[in-house]
Amino acid sequence: MSIAQHLDYLGETYGKARAQLGGSLPAELDGFMTRWFAAVNNQDIDAQLAMCAEDVHVEDPAMQGRFTDGHDEFRRFAEITYTAFPDMHFTEIGAPYIALDGNSLSVRWRGTGTLTGHIQGWPPENPGPRIEATGKKFDLEGYDIYQFSGGKISTWLIGYDNLQMSAQLGLLPAG
């Protein structure tokens, strides 16, 4: 089987699986991910929320074991993050990995940013001590897993090495 035939076979197989199982990924997935990364990099929380379900669930290692549920908590965590890292930027690495059921995808990324602001107010019910700006940068790779419902993000799972990030930002005690 040639490469072209194999790619056609995979495309046909994916199409059949998605047709049988349904799926709720946005119709124009490439455009959606471009808009999503633009909204994140422009720190446009309203644009991000417009692409998320009302009850969106987000998990990020920086959340100290807590999650955000719904638009209000998402907004609060995003505001805290963007205050701390006003120059934060993410770039996709390669193409997304799409689940055959058409309901989720994963994207690898490279993120950079400088802790020039403070971190305060997380988690809301028991905020940790204020973390002052260090002026140090992070540069790391990670991944996101997105689950969709009705063409919008319902769950966003973020994965990266939080210990590596904390070390780069000078947040770990000297030892």
Give start and end residues of each alpha helix (H) in the chain. Answer: 3-21, 29-41, 45-50, 71-84, 162-168
- pTM of the entire predicted model: 0.84
The answer to whether 53 and 151 have CB atoms below 8 angstroms apart is no
Q: What is the average pLDDT across 23-37? A: 78
Helices (H) and strands (E) in the chain, counts: 5, 6
Tell me whether strands 89-98 and 104-114 are parallel, antiparallel or unpaired.
antiparallel
Report the distance separating Cα 21 and Cα 125, nearest Å: 40
Count of beta carbons in the 10 Å neighbourhood of residue 174 = 4
Does 12 have pLDDT greater than 60? yes
Domains for the chain: give ranges and CATH numbers: 3-168 (3.10.450.50)
**What mean pLDDT, rounded, does the chain reach?**
87
